[in-house]
Chain A
Amino acid sequence: MAVADFVKSARESFRVGWKIESNWTDPVLFATYQVIRPLASLLIVAFIVIIGASVGAASNPTFDYNQYLAWLIVGNAFYAFVLQIMLGMAILVHVDRTRYEVLKNIYISPGTLHPYVVGRGLVSVVNGTVSVILTLLFSVAIFNGLLHMNIPLNFLGVNLLMLIPAVILGVISLLAIGYMLCAVNIVSNRMEFILGDSVSGIFFLLGGVIFPIALLPSYIQSIANVLPITYLLNTVRESFGLLRGNYMSDLAYLALTTLVTLIIGIAVFRLAEQRAKKLGLFDRKSEY
């Protein structure tokens, strides 16, 4: 019964969230907005690599730039999940507390705050999925179609049995991290605009999005090795045939790090909830 109630509340929250995020414009413009940000981000790094190839800056002349670009495009495209979930969930508390002034109402309704956050997070997952698919398609259109670069990306050859479990686990871990961001924003009112971008920035640096984590200093690699995003991108690249690793081992690490992140996320959220109740933060407003 409790599970059914949770699912029902999360579904309604998803419905509200989807309307808030999408019905301000028509679907084509909405999709355009969803793709431009990750695509621009991809173009920045892709141009750096293309320029690196053009000016011969690489110290290793045997470096395969096309293979690296394929690796980079897939990593960057799936990084859209990180961007969408982190940005969406980092701002959620601020918007509902300060702008719509409904956080207190949600909180005092019986058992709705947690499914509400989950439901709103799932909207970001849908947005992320749209971004990933469109970014991959546009990347091939730009680099192989317009620039004739012959990047080895074959979407028909993707192993979906490897891809789908990896994406599901990765998304759960990102939602758990988003949960923590909501918790931080419940007890703080100065970080809502920077938190999403900054946490995404941490994953951008440490998650192996644009370069292999082996290039990081060894003491930082150990941090990268406990992040679910690292294993999410490894497993995704393996399912695209762009990384020769041990898929099952990466998937197991992804499952383990997801579980740990989930436990920490729920614990942090409950702590923040208790503190907010104690200090009366659920209806705090801040404008400056």
Chain B
Amino acid sequence: MLPKTTPREELLTNLRAAYARMWVRLKGSNREATGLVAEIGLPIFTIGAYVILYRAIGFPPTAGAAVIIGGAMIAFWTNVLWNMSSQWFWERESGNLEMYLVAPVSRMSILLGMAMGGGLNTGIRALGIVLLGIFVFQVPFQLNAPLLVVAMFALTLVALYAMGMLFASLFMLYGREAWNTASLLQEPVYFLSGAYFPGFFGPIVPFAIQAAGSLIPMTIGLDAIRRLAIGGGDITSVWLHIIALIACILILFPIARRALSYMESLGKKEGRLTLRWQ
């Protein structure tokens, strides 16, 4: 029989597991420099297409700045979809999932490690995309509260990765659906979140689209960051966003935890946790 652990020891074990999972992700993603350069440089092409389109139809240069921020946030959404949501699927395919399930740690600590590693990796890339975008397209920013921007950004990431944890749980038993569903959630979310739509479009975009978009934390965070970084806003212009993002986090984390337990027990009952090549 295993010796009983104290809550402190349990916490430390879980934090070590999260750190270990994060380390693997950081090391794995950054050991090939060409990948890093490509991940920063290549998204600029899509962003550039929208910046040129805005210029062509006569929108102000701030629209281009909004697109660059949107493009950087898309990097996080892509990471959440492919490296969080679909991750249990990949882990099952590669045989790691069964090891996680028998390890004496919480599954949430593994997801936390993935989120921290993915967030840091993507943060480096997103920063590169923004800096390169500013350099290439010479778009204006009006930054009066940089610390608030950083705080909003961090809050958005926590909410976004909480959503990723929930998706990861739901995708756990998927076969090829995981792949197709992650792919399906790309462009529609770019559209709904307004990644390429600056905030001043608000009154013109149909309410139903805005309402659907508001269910995605990226939409809320993106709007707040744009208000601060492009509109020169302060806390009074984003306090509602802060409340909404905190609410997202408080709702999504417990749901993710419950969903994970449910899907794990369902997978055990149906014998699908080690099923490969579905």
Closest chain-A Cβ to B87's Cβ sits at a distance in Å of 10
Q: Is the CB of B196 within 8 A of A204?
A: no
Within 8 A of A (CB), among B45-62: 45-46, 48-50, 52-59
The answer to whether B180 touches A58 (Cβ under 8 A) is no
Q: A36-B187, A194-B42, A205-B49 are in contact. Are A287 and B96 (CB under 8 A)?
A: yes
User: Do the beta carbons of A204 and B197 come within 8 Å of each other?
Assistant: no
> Which residues of A sit under 8 angstroms from B29, Cβ to Cβ?
190, 288
Tell me the complex Cα distance, A60–B93, Å.
Answer: 55
- From B24, B35, B49, B55, give the contact of A204 (CB < 8 A): B49
Q: Does A33 touch B at the CB level, under 8 Å?
A: yes
**Are B180 and A48 neighbours in the complex by a CB distance under 8 Å?**
no
Contact of B34 among A100, A188, A198, A199 (CB under 8 A): A188
Q: Of the 9-residue stretches A116-124, A173-181, A207-215, A231-239, which lies at the interface with chain B?
A: A207-215
Nearest A residue to B188 via CB reads: A40
Tally of contact residues, A, Cβ under 8 A: 54
Residues in B neighbouring A33, C-beta threshold 8 A: 180, 183-184
Whether B45 and A202, one on each chain, are in contact in the complex, defined by CB atoms closer than 8 angstroms, is yes
Q: In the complex, A25→B93 CA distance in Å?
A: 19
Number of B positions contacting A (CB below 8 A): 51
Q: Is A286 an interface residue (CB 8 A)?
A: yes
Q: Which residues of B contact A193 (CB under 8 A)?
A: 82
Judge whether A4 is part of the interface by a CB distance below 8 angstroms.
Answer: no
Confirm or deny: B32 has a beta carbon within 8 angstroms of a beta carbon on chain A: yes
Question: Contact: A48 with B196, CB < 8 Å?
Answer: yes
Whether, in the assembled complex, A277 has its beta carbon less than 8 Å from a beta carbon of chain B, the answer is: no
Q: Contact between A40 and B187 (Cβ–Cβ < 8 Å)?
A: yes
Q: For residues 152 through 198 of chain B, which have their beta carbon under 8 Å from a beta carbon of chain A?
A: 175-177, 180, 183-184, 186-188, 190-191, 196-197
Q: Which of A183-231 contact B (CB under 8 A)?
A: 188-191, 193-195, 197-202, 204-206, 209-211, 215-216
Give bound CA distance, A204 to B42, whole Å: 12
CB <8 Å contact, B187 and A37 = yes
B53 & A202 in contact (Cβ 8 Å cutoff): no
Q: Which residues of A contact B43 (CB under 8 A)?
A: 197-198, 201
Q: Is the CB of A49 within 8 A of B190?
A: no
> From residue B124, how far is it (CB to closest CB) to chain A in Å?
14
Residue in A closest to B114 when the chains form the complex, CB atoms: A288
Docked-complex contact A210 and B49, CB < 8 angstroms: yes
In angstroms, Cα B39 to Cα A190, docked, is 10
Chain B's nearest CB lies how many Å from the CB of A56? 9
**Looking across the interface, which residue of chain B has its beta carbon closest to that of A58?**
B58
> B42 to A57, Cβ gap below 8 A?
no
Q: How far is the CA of A51 from the CA of B204 in the complex (A)?
A: 7
B205 contacts the other chain (CB 8 A) = yes
Judged by a CB distance under 8 angstroms, whether A20 is at the interface is yes
Chain A residues with CB below 8 A from B27, complex form: 288
Point out the residue from A41, A191, A287 that lies within 8 Å of B187, measured CB to CB. Answer: A41
Interface 1/0 per residue, A71-115 and B, CB below 8 Å:
000000000000000010000000000111000000000000000
Are B176 and A24 in contact (CB-based, < 8 A)? yes
Contact A57 B52 (CB under 8 A): no
Contact of B175 among A24, A52, A60, A205 (CB under 8 A): A24
User: In chain A, residues 116-171, which have Cβ atoms closer than 8 Å to a Cβ of chain B?
Assistant: none
* Chain A, residue nearest B89 (CB): A99
Cβ of A1: which chain B residues have Cβ within 8 Å of it?
none
Distance, CA A131 to CA B120, complexed state (A): 35
- CB atoms of A209 and B38 under 8 A apart: no
**CA distance in complex: A41, B53 (Å):** 14
B42 touches A52 (CB 8 A): no
- Which residues of A249-269 have CB atoms within 8 Å of chain B's CB atoms? none
- Please name all residues of chain B whose beta carbon is closer than 8 Å to the beta carbon of A38 when the two chains form the complex: 187
When chains A and B are docked, how far (Å) is the Cα of A63 from the Cα of B57?
9
- CB of A31 within 8 A of chain B? no
Closest-CB distance, A18 to chain B (whole angstroms): 13
Closest 4 CB pairs of A and B: A288-B28, A198-B42, A190-B35, A201-B46
Q: Which chain A residues have a beta carbon within 8 Å of chain B's beta carbons? A: 20, 24-25, 33, 36-38, 40-41, 43-45, 47-52, 54-55, 57-60, 63, 87, 98-100, 188-191, 193-195, 197-202, 204-206, 209-211, 215-216, 285-288
- Besides the known contacts A197-B78, A200-B46, 15 further A-B residue pairs in the complex with CB atoms under 8 A apart: A33-B183, A37-B184, A40-B188, A41-B187, A44-B187, A48-B54, A58-B58, A188-B32, A188-B35, A199-B42, A205-B46, A205-B49, A215-B55, A288-B24, A288-B27
Question: Can you report 22 residue pairs joining A to B where beta carbons are below 8 Å apart?
Answer: A36-B188, A40-B190, A44-B197, A45-B50, A47-B197, A47-B201, A48-B196, A51-B205, A57-B57, A57-B59, A59-B58, A60-B58, A188-B32, A198-B43, A201-B49, A204-B46, A205-B45, A210-B49, A215-B52, A287-B96, A288-B24, A288-B29
